[in-house]
């Protein structure tokens, strides 16, 4: 019975989900650009200072988790919409329970 309830809930309004999916595809493309810039900047800083920057490492980890959540939503593995519809998952509060 729970499987049927979940299936009915997920098929409630496919057009609404489709709009959210389009939004998250756009958000992903922005996040991909930010990730590329982060990688380049972090590499340059490591060349200059000889060690990784802790804040950039944490932001990279948070951004990776966000991108993972977006992929889960886009591939129908979860019905939960990622940030900004739920709190931003940070390395500091370690909300691994939110990820399957």
How far apart, in whole angstroms, are the C-alpha atoms of residue 58 and residue 11?
A: 36
Q: What is residue 84's predicted lDDT score, i.e. its pLDDT? A: 77
pLDDT in tens, 24-58: 999 999 999 999 999 999 999 999 999 999 999 99
Q: Which of 4, 25, 36 is nearest to 81 (CA)?
A: 25
Token pair for 62: 């948070």
Where does the pLDDT of residue 12 fall: very low under 50, low under 70, confident under 90, or very high at 90 and above? confident
Angle between helices 54-74 and 14-49 (to 10 degrees): 160
Q: Are 88 and 18 in contact (CB under 8 A)?
A: no
Q: Are 26 and 54 in contact (CB under 8 A)?
A: no
């Amino acid at each position: 019975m729970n499987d049927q309830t979940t299936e009915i809930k997920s098929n409630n309004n496919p057009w609404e989900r489709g709009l959210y999916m389009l939004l998250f595809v756009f958000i992903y493309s922005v996040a991909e650009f930010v990730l590329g810039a982060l990688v380049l900047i972090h590499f340059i800083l490591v060349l200059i200072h000889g060690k990784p920057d802790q804040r950039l490492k944490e932001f990279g980890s948070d951004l990776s988790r966000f991108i993972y959540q977006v992929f889960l939503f886009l591939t129908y593995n979860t019905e939960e919409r990622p940030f900004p519809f739920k709190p931003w998952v940070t390395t500091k509060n370690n909300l691994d329970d939110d990820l399957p």
